[in-house]
Amino acid sequence: MPRLHLHLLSDSTGETLEMIAKAALAQFEGAEVMRHFWPMVRSQQHLDRIMGEIASNPGVVFFTMVNAETRTRLEEHCRTLGLPIVPVLDSAVDALESALGQHPKARPGRQHAMDDAYFARVDAIHFTIAHDDGVGWEDWEEADIVLAGVSRSSKTPTSIYLANRGYKVANIPIVVESPPPPALFGLKHPLVVGLTTAPERLVQVRRNRLLSLNQAPETAYVDEDRVAKEVQYARRMFADNDWPVIDVTRRSIEEASAAIINLYNTFRGIREGAGQGGGA
């Protein structure tokens, strides 16, 4: 399969563009795509420099640009080079313009305005990074969600993804030889979620991790019987404490996070309902 160069140009941070490109590429399994990311393109001079790179690596161009002059210049360059160009938000904006009966505000990065939600998300990210891998257990009561699971069960990447969605997350490794702090079992505010995975899949992930670190891939860390007992120990802990469990064996980080968010929304609804009932 030939390699495709995909150029992503935005006059803002490009977060939206990256997510759209990732979602679209997920439909093409095995495709060899080289992504080139060009954020904060806000002048014609900057665009002209980038076009030299695009001309050297021709491919498909995705863009989100609200400045009419910069957009027109980009379109002209791509026509000259014979490159396909896709304004990824145009259809959505046109539909909303028609439905709302008003013109869109042409301001780069408008969707990323530094409002209260933005600062809450930054706060969540700081909290989550500071409470990774069992650190800072004294503050777990301040978390929205606490993830528990054996080593390499996707706790950290799932925590970071949830933090980017605005949730304060702590995570704790479940280790047979080192029980978690008692505070974990008395938490009131956060939802505790157990992450589990198939032992054979876990062995494969751990072995790949050791190889990436140039370490011997045959240790107790990847012993199949030992790993199976670890997973069983963790699942028993989850059941004993009535914590909901997410099996991440065949789930992507995004899918696992969506399931956790659904659990959290239900948990919060029940808690708020109980609080209202108590005040009646």
34: part of which helix (H) or strand (E)? strand 33-38
Distance CA 231, CA 235 (A): 6
* Strand (E) or helix (H) holding 171: strand 169-173
In whole angstroms, what separates CA 91 from the centre of its chain?
A: 25
Distance CA(213)–CA(198), nearest Å, equals: 23
CB 147, CB 171: distance < 8 Å? yes
Helices (H), the chain: 15-25, 44-56, 68-81, 90-100, 116-130, 155-164, 199-212, 224-240, 253-279
Name the DSSP letter for residue 181: P
Neighbours of 239 (CB within 10 A): 11
Cβ atoms of 260 and 246 within 8 Å: the answer is: yes
Q: Which residues are part of a known binding site?
A: 149-156
- Is there a contact between 19 and 111 (Cβ–Cβ < 8 Å)? no
Residues annotated in a binding site for ADP: 149-156
Nearest CA to 11 out of 33, 34, 36, 44 is that of 44
